[in-house]
Structure 1
Amino acid sequence: MTALDAVSVFLPSRRVPIEALAAPLRLTEMQIRLFRRFHGLTEVRRDPDRSLPDLLLRATDGLTALPGVAQRVRFVLYARAFPVVAPYPANPLHDVCRKLGLGHALAFTLTQQSCAGALAAVDVAGRLLAAEPPGPDGEPLALVLTGEKAFTRDAQFIPETSVFSEGASACLVSAHGGRDRLLSYACTQRGEFDVAGGASPARFQREYRPALAEVIDRALTDAGTTLAELRLVLPHNVNLLTWKRLGKLIGLPLDKVLLDNVTETGHVFCADAFVNYRTARERDLLRPGDRYLVAAVGAGDGATFAAMVFEH
């Protein structure tokens, strides 16, 4: 059964208050007020001097087991929100693999599900590992990476919705781990929500929460559990209002949703799930046997709504 063997996160130490984004992003005072008071977004993490490969490598630094199991890593999956993050012929993923001694691994990127890509990457990693025979060093592993730079205006905020932080995560995935086992994965892709292609943003906002509620319900059903049985929900950090309204829609108490990182980091692209997982572990919010749900939404050329249920 697909499992998270180890998770590490890196966030730049530099905190930037929302008000400091007004001038570079050409935001009005009213827009800043909307982000802070309405959506609960107060600051983001940025490090303009740190490159994308640096972000990814700092995340892998926290995987203390990685050097000892590097030869067992068969796949490296890089989930990111944007199709292009570096000018040709630069390839941050391959640069990182070389520095980590993972040149032997099959490395590729997933981008089509935008900010929901991390959940897809964990699912794909598990499927690939299930088909791999054990090697002389033991069971095969996959390394799932996320992390991006807020390098353009579009990569720094979503109008009227959220702001992005820079950061990265690294996760070792196995096919037969004993902790943080994946019980279910539900995903819905909605091509009609291609806002960039001319679809109505109002329709997307109107159907956003029902669509997310549907995949959450499907993930719970497939895992044989209920909202009441969940210990915790790890959200995507889009904003507080979305989760307050979703909670009312599906009967989810907000005290089960780990929302602190929404205000402290904003949206960290695909890394939100792992940022929140690290916080949950640091605060000892998960005990052996607890079940928790991870949810994410990606918007780009259409929209992806995804949810996973894990057992700690």
Structure 2
Amino acid sequence: MTSLAAVAAYVPAGRVPIEEPAGRLGLSAMQVKVFRRYHRLGEVARDPGGGLGDLLRGALDRLEGLRGQEHRVRYVLHARTFPTVTPYGHDPLRRLCEEYGLGHATAFSVGHHACASGLLALDAAGRLLAADGDPDGLALVLTGEKAFTGEAQLVPDTSFFGEGAAACLVAASGERDRMLCYATELRGEFDSEEPELALEFQRIYAEALAAAITAAVGRAGLAVDGIAAILPHNVNHQAWKQVCRILGYPRERVLLDHVTGTGHLFCADSFVNYRTAKERGLLRPGEPYVVAAAGAGLGAAFSAMVLVH
């Protein structure tokens, strides 16, 4: 059963108030007020002097479980929100593999689920390892992107993107953080920039994400009220308030610590929240928890994964 062997996260120390990207993107004072007061967004994480390689390096340097195990890593997957994350001709993933002794591994990117691609990458890593049949094999899932374009700085009417990264070492089996179930619903009808569809996406968002969580928990043979914690993607407080109301789940058990101070860290949210939950003692041995995310781009994806710590 797929398990998380080690998880590390890196969020740069730099912060900018949301007014800074909002001004560059032409948002009105009223729109900023809505983000602050309604969505409870305040600052976003930024590393103005570093590139994507520096972000991912920050996470890799903190992944102590990788030390001495590099030879066991068969796959390196970079989960992306956007199809293009660096200027043409730059390949930081390949350079990092060589730098960290992973040049022998098969390295590739995973996308098309937008901000839910991190969960897709975990599932893909587990499937690849299971198909290999090597009980000692490992996969490395990397997440993190730079907010280097206007589109990569703002989720319209929803959130601001921040910069951060995470590294997760995945094993085919293990005693802790075992994956019980992964569920995702793809909605291809949202592959459009029509304003009407954007409004419809906002309308069905909470219900669709709640349905994905319910499906994953049910397939794992559990009930929602038996889930110890939900580790969300950090879009905003209001969205998760709605999801919790639909689920009948206590909002205080959804870890929203990083929403106000870092912004939405692309696909890295789940892993940053995992590190915080573990450090705060919110994940106890033998208890199930949910990691959930939604993404829109080439259609929409609503995803949830149930693991047991």
Same fold (TM over 0.5): yes
Q: 1:261 & 1:245 partners in 2: Cα distance?
A: 18
Q: 2:223 & 2:234 partners in 1: Cα distance?
A: 22
Moved more, 296-305 or 255-264: 255-264
- Counterpart residue number, 1:275: 272
Q: 1:259 & 1:84 partners in 2: Cα distance?
A: 28
- Counterpart residue number, 1:38: 38
Q: Indicate conservation of the 8 Å contact 1:79/1:111, yes or no.
A: yes
Q: Calculate the TM-score normalised by the size of structure 2.
A: 0.97
Residue 247 of structure 1, aligned match among 236, 244, 247: 244
The one-letter amino acid paired with 2:229 is L
- Counterpart residue number, 2:3: 3
Q: 2:234 & 2:275 partners in 1: Cα distance?
A: 14
Q: Find out whether 1:99 has 2:99 as its counterpart.
A: yes
Displacement of 1:179: 0.5
- Counterpart residue number, 2:80: 80
Identity %, equivalent residues = 55
Q: How many residues align?
A: 309
Displacement of 1:197: 6.1
The one-letter amino acid paired with 1:78 is H
- Counterpart residue number, 2:157: 160
- Counterpart residue number, 1:12: 12
Displacement of 1:198: 6.6
- Counterpart residue number, 1:230: 227
- Cα deviations across residues 26-61 of structure 1 (Å, max 9, x unaligned)? 221111101110101111100111110111011011
Q: 1:27 & 1:198 partners in 2: Cα distance?
A: 17
- Counterpart residue number, 2:180: 183
Displacement of 1:302: 0.6
- Counterpart residue number, 1:216: 213
- Cα deviations across residues 175-205 of structure 1 (Å, max 9, x unaligned)? 0111000000000110001233676111111
- Which residues of 2 match residues 35-184 of structure 1 at below 5 A? 35-134=35-134, 139-184=136-181
Moved more, 146-155 or 18-27: 18-27
Give SS of 2:103's match: coil
Q: 1:162 & 1:48 partners in 2: Cα distance?
A: 20
Q: 1:66 & 1:277 partners in 2: Cα distance?
A: 18
Displacement of 1:23: 2.3
Q: Indicate conservation of the 8 Å contact 2:65/2:169, yes or no.
A: no
Q: Calculate the TM-score normalised by the size of structure 1.
A: 0.96
Q: 2:151 & 2:290 partners in 1: Cα distance?
A: 29
- Cα deviations across residues 71-105 of structure 1 (Å, max 9, x unaligned)? 00000000011101122221121111111111100
Q: Find out whether 1:265 has 2:262 as its counterpart.
A: yes
- Cα deviations across residues 136-183 of structure 1 (Å, max 9, x unaligned)? xx7000000001000001100112110010010000000011100000
- Counterpart residue number, 1:310: 307
Q: 1:267 & 1:207 partners in 2: Cα distance?
A: 20
Q: Indicate conservation of the 8 Å contact 1:244/1:254, yes or no.
A: yes
Displacement of 1:287: 1.0
Q: 1:97 & 1:132 partners in 2: Cα distance?
A: 21
Q: 2:66 & 2:24 partners in 1: Cα distance?
A: 39
Gaps of 5+ in 1: none
Change (3 A) 1:168 1:244: same
Q: Indicate conservation of the 8 Å contact 1:197/1:301, yes or no.
A: no
Q: 1:303 & 1:199 partners in 2: Cα distance?
A: 15
- Root-mean-square deviation over aligned CA pairs: 1.2
The one-letter amino acid paired with 2:303 is A
The one-letter amino acid paired with 1:241 is Q
